[in-house]
Each structure stands twice: as structure tokens, then as C-alpha cells.
Amino acid sequence: MDDSIETKLIIRHKAEEDEEEGDLNKRIWEESKKIWRVSLPSMISRVCAFGTIVITQSFIGHINEIDLAGYALVQTLTVRFVNGILLGMSSATETLCGQAFGAGQEHMMGIYLQRSWIVDLITLTILLPIFIFATHIFKFVGEEESISNSGGYISLWFIPFVYNYVFTLTIQMYLQAQLKNMIIAYLSASQFVIHITLSTLFVYKLNMGIPGAMVSLLMSSWFLVIGEFIYIFGGWCPDSWKGFTVAAFKDMLPMIKFSISSGIMLCLELWYYALLVLLAGYMADAEVAIAAFSICLNLNAWEFMVSLGFLGAACVRVANELGRGDAKAVKFSIEVLFATSFAIGVLFFVLCLVFGKKLAYLFTNDVRVVETVSDLSLLLSFSVLLNSIYPILSGVAIGAGMQATVAIVNLVCFYLIGIPLGALLGYVTSLEVKGIWIGMICGVLAQTVTLIYMIWSTDWDDQVSKASERLARFYLKSNNENPDQIANEY
């Protein structure tokens, strides 16, 4: 009889374990669907959008080696500098929209979007002298005259281009917070095809050179912006877009402060790579060093666009669950995100090891540049692997509104560890460009370890309370109760 009871207990215990395992698998599946619903469109849009910049570099690289270095200097230093500021400041929109959607305050999302447009437009206009006086800036920091002149000319072409960031960055965050960013994926894929077509026509068929490459970049980038406007203003976001409103000008100071803390966080991360390119420009053969280093960085950044898809998913899922007040769901989502992203990172790591030595031929026929890129392929592979980890952690921080803390982490890890170590290894030893890259990896590794500890030790119940306080501080009445809503609704 005892044996029979014990057997029944074992069977019951096994059944309970199977039920728990089945329930866990179901939860993982449901969470994965939510993650991919945000991350896949974001990946497609970011890969395609950044791909237009990489494709432009490829076309310019087959025109002239000096112009390749000049374009690399502008794109990696100036454009990345400005993009870092705007992307960082726009992440405030991501936090606020995500938490508002989770809390059922959809009408506030359109107001947050308009506030971000105002802040970003003013910020970018203030930064325009960086493009206008690029030649003098490059010469002042010690770059070669021929590369500085080429970079200064190309920099002027980028002025109308960078204004698209004001809208594309913020709109993507606004749409993905409400799980409507598939339209961005469709538009970005179309943008990529249009860009390749126009580049081939203008550069190869019409022999327009640099102007042809840059005009195709401008046309394709603003195609995306116009498509986004049509989608929002056309009535496909009825709950979150109620038309332009003067309420967007209210509470601007808290919004600016939040945007600045967000901006500093991501700026310190993106400028880190830009400064490393600047260090490469002081090498003995600056033209080769800049071209090779920027090719590797652009390949790394292109793959990083996939990771940014998971960053967006991390932000949305964490922000949504914090807005709903569910701390346990936040922690579970982080675990699933981390496992998924790391698995994909391992795949790209292997691909870079296999094909890393042949990738440079996509951008140039210069044997010196190809050999330098080949030497960096192993380090590129490890950078790609790290790409699958720390963006998730940054996305969690953005979703929780912890940008200020991460900004301090980025400052210490990148600027007190990575850059000094890279400069030391690059100039004191014989490693040169390899040394700079090793320093970069060490800075990223330090940041990754610190963020893992920070996220692991976070009290998510406390973060739920903070999210509730933040939403209450920014909250305005809905349209039916708001007399400031103006008539021109779309």
C-alpha cells in the first residue's frame, strides 16, 4: 500500500512538473511573440536605413580613395555625433510613449511625439555649424588636408539629410511603443531598394560622382519621412494622434531635462566609436587607417542595427509592463530577450569569422585597405558578439527611465577605460589600429559587466512606482477634456 501511495505521489509530482514546464514554455512563446512583434520590424527598418549610408560609402569608395576617407570621416565623426544626440534625446520619447501605452494613456503619445519634434529641431539647428565648418574642424584636430577638404565638401551634402533624423527616429519610437511599427519596416525596405536604384543610376549611368551618391541618399531618406507622415496623419493612429496641439508646448522644461539625460547616455556610446576613428586618423598612413577602421565600424554598426531591434523591444516591453505595474513580467521579459539576442549574436559571430577577410572588397579595391580590414576581422567578430548583449541592457534602462545612471556608466567605461587603453595600445605598441580596436572592446566589455550587475540588482517594484510617478507628472487630460486642442486634426 505504501508503495502504491509513493508511486501515486511520484506520478502526481511528475505531472505537476510537466504542467509547470508546459506553462513555462507557453509563457516563453507568448513573450517571444511580443518581442519579435516589436524587434523584427525595427531590425528591418534600422538595417535598411543604415544600409543606405553603407551603400553610399560603397559607391563612393569605388569613385575615389580620398573621398572614401573623407566620407568615412564625416559619417563616422560628424553624422554619428549628431545622430547620437538626436537618437539619445529621442529615447525619452520611447520611454514616455511606452509607459503611457502600458498605462492606457494613448492620447499622451501624440503630445510626447510633438514635444520631441520641437526639442530635436531646435537642437539640430544649433548643431548645424558642425557641418558648415567641417573642413576647418577636421584640419584643427589634425587630419590630413586632402581628407579634410573632401570631408568638408561631403559634410555640406549631409545637412538636408540629418534633418530626416528629427522625424524618423522619434516616429519609429512612437509607433513601436504601440506595436504599429511594421509600416516602418515596409517603408524602410522600399527606401533601401529606391536608394540602390538611384545610386546606380546617378553614379554609374549618369557619372554624377559624389553629388549623385549624395542626392540618392537624400531622396531615399526623405521618402521614408513622407511615408511616415502619411501613415500618422492619414488616420492609422486614431487613439494616439489627435492632431497638432498647443499642449505640446506645455511642460517643456521637464521634457528637455529628460531628453538631455537620455541624449547624454547614447551620445557617450556613439561618440566613443567616432573618437576611435579620430585616433586612427593620426596613424602614419591615415588614409588607409581611417578607411579600414570605418569600414569595420560600419559593418559592426550595420549588424548592430539588428541588436537595436532588440534594444527597441527591450524598451517597449519593459516600459509597457512598468506602465501596467507588473514587475514580475518585466524580469521575465528581460530573461527571454537576453537569451534570444545572445543566440543571434553567436550566429553573426560565426559568420564574421568565416567571411570577415572578404568583406572589404564590398567597399574598395585598395589592397592596403583590404589587408588592414582582414587583420581586424577577428576583433570585429568579438565586437559583433558583444553587440548582442549590451544593447539589451541599454534598452531595459531606457524602458525604465534610468538613462542618467547609464550615462555615468558609459562615461567611465568608454572614456576612462576604452579610449585611454586604445590610445596606449595603438601608439605605444606596434598594434596600431588593432590596439585601438582592442581598447574599444575593453571599454564595451566593462560597460556590459557593469550594466548586467545594475539590471540584476534593480528593485523592479520600486521602478513600477517611479514609472507611475513619471506618468502622473506629465499627464494631461484627454482630447475631449482638453480645450487647447486645435482644429486641424488629420
Helix (H, G, I), strand (E, B) or coil at 144: coil
Is-contact 217 195, C-beta < 8 A?
yes
Place of cell 538626436: 86
**Rounded CA separation 203/214 (Å):** 10
Length of the chain: 490
Q: Give strand pairing partners of 485.
A: 245
Confidence (pLDDT) at 61: 82
**Rounded CA separation 351/302 (Å):** 14
Output b/e per residue, 401-424; b: 16+ Cβ within 10 A: bbbebbbebbebbbeebbbebbbe
Domain boundaries, the chain: 35-477
Confidence (pLDDT) at 119: 87
Give the DSSP letter of residue 360: G
CA–CA distances in Å: residue 199 to residues 210, 289, 291, 342: 10, 26, 21, 35
Grid coordinates belonging to 197? 536604384
**Rounded CA separation 394/302 (Å):** 18
Confidence (pLDDT) at 133: 94
Place of cell 536604384: 197
Is-contact 205 212, C-beta < 8 A?
no
| Assessment of whether the complete model's pTM goes beyond 0.85 | no
Give the DSSP letter of residue 486: -
Is-contact 142 73, C-beta < 8 A?
no
**Rounded CA separation 302/295 (Å):** 10
Confidence (pLDDT) at 486: 35
Confidence (pLDDT) at 276: 67
Place of cell 511599427: 181
**Rounded CA separation 472/43 (Å):** 32
**Rounded CA separation 316/94 (Å):** 7
**Rounded CA separation 414/396 (Å):** 19
**Rounded CA separation 233/481 (Å):** 22
Show the DSSP H helices in 356-418 as ranges.
Answer: 367-375, 377-387, 390-400, 403-410
Is-contact 380 300, C-beta < 8 A?
yes
Q: Which of 396, 398, 405 is nearest to 331 (CA)?
A: 396
Confidence (pLDDT) at 1: 47
Percent of the chain with pLDDT over 70: 87
Helix (H, G, I), strand (E, B) or coil at 419: helix
Residue ranges of the chain with pLDDT lower than 70? 1-22, 258, 261-263, 265-266, 269-271, 273-274, 276-278, 280-284, 473-490
Q: CB-hemisphere CA count at 13 Å for 1?
A: 0
